[in-house]
Amino acid sequence: MPPMAKLILFVSKGCPHCPKAAAVVMRIAREYEEDGLSYEKVRTRTERGKRLSVRFNVNVFPTLLMFDGDGRLRAKISGVPSEDVLKKKVELLLGLRKPLLSRFIPWRH
């Protein structure tokens, strides 16, 4: 099954917060893998890491990018993400959760 969403975590050598961020993101990625979530860790010292850092204007580490199934960037989180907040964002991205407002406001046609 093609990924319905993708997480890309940018890490840098010597970054004191990157291992914790990687652990949080990896736990969430494993939990939602069967729902179509994929995960990649990008090291900024590699050529690919440098290119992607420039392309997405990543200059703080760790930084997490969240993409939908069409490859559109939907969220950018700098620092160590909260596991609860990240779960909610992933569930929204995968269509497993409705946006908060849609639960309270009926849509009119």
Sign of CA dihedral 7, 12, 14, 16: negative
Q: How many CB atoms lie within 10 A of CB 46?
A: 11
Please confirm whether the linkage preceding 62 is cis (ω < 30° from 0).
yes
pLDDT for residue 109 = 45
Q: Strand locations in 1-109, DSSP E? A: 5-11, 37-43, 63-68, 73-78
pLDDT, mean of each 10-residue run, the chain (109 residues): 86 97 98 96 96 97 96 96 95 82 51
Q: Which domains are delineated in the chain?
A: 5-104 (3.40.30.10)
Closest by Cα among 24, 43, 42, 44 to 90: 24
Tokens of 52: 């992607």
Q: What is the pTM of this model?
A: 0.86
